[in-house]
Amino acid sequence: MWKNLKISIQNVNSQNANADIKVAFIAKDNLSSTKDKELLENLWADAKGSFLAQDSKILYVGLSLDSKSATMSDSSEVYVYQEAGCSAVRALKNLKIKSASMDLGEFSKEAIFHILQGLWLGFYEYRGLKSSDENHSLEISLSGVEESSLKDSKIICDSVNFVRDIVNTPPNIANSVYLSELAQNEVNKLSKELKNPEIKAINRSNSYMEEQKMGAFVAVNSASNFPAFLTHLIYKPSSVSENTKKVAIVGKGLVYDTGGLSLKPADYMTTMKADKGGACAVLGTFMAAARLNLNIELHAIMGITDNAIGKSAYRPDDILVSREKKSIEVKNTDAEGRLVLADCLSYAQDLDVDIILDFATLTGACVVALGEYTSGVMGFNENLKQDFVNAALQSGELAHTLPFNKHLKKLIESKVADVSNTSSSRYGGAITAGLFLSEFIRDEYKDKWLHIDIAGPAFVEKDWGVNPHGASGAGVRACVAFLDKIAKN
């Protein structure tokens, strides 16, 4: 229902706008400057959340800042403005308001951009296959906003909400064929929409993987009723120069993960439709980057399969040989995402790119380390890691680095193969998974590669910030912000 929100710019003061409600964003220390001073000071003194003054038809939305004049120098203020926009749009939706006006002329361009993101993202709701139609439409008219801010925020948030929809889609619908065809169809539509850039999608299935000796990826798919797909999306901007960077983004697309023969307990299995979050984030990022016309050459690679059980399933004790010709001892078939990524990362390194990022709902250990809301960023290049974290924080996503070290690497050693797919210790599991992936990164790419574990924020079963229950679209805003900085350097 996120498409039922319409936001437009009009060149009249919101006082004169033809709308049911006016929305005013207000800091706690500015209550005395409002039309409803006494009412607010008596009934809304903490200025938290929102407050509807019925007589004046003004919805006041609190900013947890000292004043509107605050700058965007502190990344924490990003969340303040995004959550204020989210609070406003959710209040309007809950009150079943059909039209509202906002004058944002007092805010900085950066603050406006984040308020807009809060509106677009906060209105989202996934209703799945509910038979009752409770969709609500809302029109918001703005003043004091540049057209470019509205356009760019909508492009990014449409991609995030699109990813939320896919990740939320249940596995009996969103199987590997569905996801690969969806990516192909969306890219075909994008190619028609954008005339100048080169945009295309290539769907490669099992025969190609077997030919390429992707033994790890093929093994994960071995018990599935559906084929695996390596879906390669390509975007080249209309004007490519010698300064145009070439980037590959790789996503884990496990449309469902039973754990394989190392079967998950039932209560750990119920959210595994979200295990495709990495590949979906890659698709959403690709679509946003193309629509924003970023000056980068972008290759998005989605490793799509499910991890099923059956008579042909791969087993603990199997030894697999990857595309990089490294052998892998399987100790746990539930550590399957890293097997898919190992072969996809090998494929990406043949594209001669400047930077490789992979996104994956890879480990519960990352959630233990950083909590449900923060992505873990790993790699060998400390500057590159911090650049991504900074971009994520400025976009409104939470991310933090996790450190590699040689002692943890010893935990994935194998006596019968080049590497084990799981650690010999339960501790540091997010890092040892990242170190496993690093085994398939060639020396020339060690400083050009980042691994982003989005297991925590990709799917959370309660509202948080601008994110609803369920899929958040984690990775899209962070990656778009990171690519934007690369494109402008």
Residues taking part in catalysis? 264, 338
Q: In terms of Cα–Cα distance, which of 116, 215, 234, 231 is closest to 166?
A: 231
The pairing of beta strand 138-143 with beta strand 99-103: parallel
The pairing of beta strand 419-420 with beta strand 327-329: parallel
CA terminus-to-terminus distance, the chain: 37
* 339 touches 328 (CB < 8 A): yes
Cα–Cα distance between 261 and 96 in angstroms, integer?
49
Residue 313, φ and ψ in degrees, nearest 5: -65, 145
Cα–Cα distance between 47 and 352 in angstroms, integer?
53
Structure tokens, 441 = 């990164």
Please name the amino acid found at residue 422: T
Cα–Cα distance between 179 and 227 in angstroms, integer?
11
Q: What is the CA radius of gyration of the chain?
A: 23
Q: Which residues of 27-59 are buried (b: 16+ CB within 10 A; e: fewer)?
A: bbebbeebebeebbeeebeebeebbbbeeeebb
Provide the CB-side half-sphere exposure for 92 (13 A, CA).
36
Q: Torsion angle of alpha carbons 251, 255, 256, 257, nearest 10°? A: -20
Cα–Cα distance between 396 and 114 in angstroms, integer?
8
* CB atoms closer than 10 angstroms to residue 337: 27
| Residue recorded with tokens 């749009």 | 89
Residue 356: helix, strand or coil by DSSP? strand
* 276 touches 175 (CB < 8 A): no
**CA separation (Å) from 118 to 288, 323, 367, 393, 451?**
17, 43, 25, 15, 27
Starting at the earlier edge strand, list the strands of the sheet with 319-321: 319-321, 327-329, 419-420
Helix ranges, 237-326 (H):
266-269, 277-291
| Residue recorded with tokens 């929305």 | 23
Q: Which residues 6+ apart lie within 8 Å of 233 measured at CB?
A: 183, 187, 199, 200, 201, 202, 283, 286, 298, 299, 300, 301, 302
Cα–Cα distance between 165 and 146 in angstroms, integer?
29
Q: Which residues 6+ apart lie within 8 Å of 438 measured at CB?
A: 380, 404, 446, 449, 451
